[in-house]
Structure 1
């Protein structure tokens, strides 16, 4: 699979009110590439533009300048039909699964819905069971609804919903921020396995360098709409070269997670 690339992305800088300051969510000349079988962290404080960049990568917002490409094919917002190919290749794991999972739907319905919407071939029931198995959940939970599941289980259902289309890339937006440490550990292990064993490309969006250090070989630091540092994660941690990275390192000092990726694998 070819890389997913953002090249020279700017957003919000030509909009009314720009000269009064940089509102949260603006981007300026941001470039980033994600490759299959790799994990890249996008880190930054609140308002740095992380969520805006994710929306643009998902073709939910149009940049003022710059391009998003998957391989040689340009990606831009448009009708559902024109983006089916892209939605099958690039999927999203939300920060708050409770807000993305319809409480009226069963797990089976939640997993089959994107298959139906994107007219995916194959037996949708079997694909749903397979997606649930990939996140290490029992098919016995298929008839339950989100309100009957734990927070960790709902996060796994949201991940299975992203995986059911068999994408090449996952964009995970703070996927463990609302979980306690044991559940956080489980979700990180799951994401790491998907990258290492199945070759998915992962963009992990986080404000925490400690989380990035346990998952990602490369980290991009976003500050006030600009990428101010893009380097191996261990380098960002040991020798931060920008004030924004220094602040993130200091904020992450002492943060403990029970799971760590072996250094040789980074």
Structure 2
């Protein structure tokens, strides 16, 4: 069953700056889909549309069969209970003035989700492999990989159906990147994920399907194993050949 559907989406920044052109793909419930492309491919703009920060100028985005209403605040509040994000930089995405408990539970407060927030925070922190005493500390007391784990805990504490990850391992060193990708694989067993990255190797290690973007167009899309085995488009071939990748099993 399809959870997220992007249908003929187009978007421009002013006259003559068309960033997305006729973008269409779907995300089956329970799968991991990677959006891959270099800088300028349109990944970041597409992510903004999926987050409801901007609305498509042409086409539409459907979530669970219903149009994503980016200009409807009431709709977006409910949407964000079901869709959360993990961003690129684990150093800037956590407020240094707040303890980890306050940071991790922020979605519960902003979305007015009830329950025992402390217990929910402990559960979320444990699920990303950190100790409960993490909650009493501050971001500067953790490494980059640990901070990204905290950011992931914040994203999953409300138990969303979909997680949007934006270059979520690119700021990490290689060994830490491998561990965080493993963590994403674990949590994706219970939710759907869209993973935005310029690194084909990371996406190949994590995602069932790949959508390749180049200058606002989808140039290739399909099952990860098939694209790795026989990439059809020259741009996909260049990504596989030239981008530094994590070791993966094929």
In the superposition, the TM-score normalised over structure 2's length comes to 0.94
1:17 aligns with 2:16: yes
In structure 2, what is the Cα distance between the partners aligned to 1:42 and 1:2?
A: 17
Q: Give the CA RMSD over aligned residues.
A: 1.7
Deviations along 1:96-126, one digit per CA (max 9) or x if unpaired, are 1222211111100001211111000211111
1:59-98 mapped onto 2 (5 Å cutoff): 59-98=52-91
Q: Distance in 1 between matches of 2:165 and 2:42?
A: 15
Displacement after TM superposition at 1:160 (Å) = 0.4
Deviation at 1:85, TM superposition (A): 1.3
Q: What is the match of residue 234 of structure 2?
A: 243
**Correspondence 1:38 to 2:53:** no
Distance 2:128 2:59 in 1: 35
CA distance in 2, matches of 1:35, 1:167: 15
Aligned to 1:4: 4
Q: In 2, Cα distance between the equivalents of 1:2 and 1:88?
A: 18
Aligned pairs for 1:126-165 within 5 A: 126-165=119-158
Gaps of 5+ in 2: none
Question: Is the 2:34–2:207 Cα contact (8 Å) retained in structure 1?
Answer: yes
- Gaps of at least 5 residues in structure 1 are none
Match of 1:48 in 2: 41
Three-state SS of the structure 2 residue aligned to 1:3 is strand
Q: Which residue of 2 aligns with 1:222?
A: 213
1:209 is aligned to 200
Alpha-carbon offset, residue 225 of structure 1: 0.4
C-alpha spacing 1:220/1:2, structure 2 compared with 1 (3 Å): closer
Equivalent pairs, count: 250
Distance 1:229 1:2 in 2: 20
What displacement does 1:79 show?
Answer: 5.0
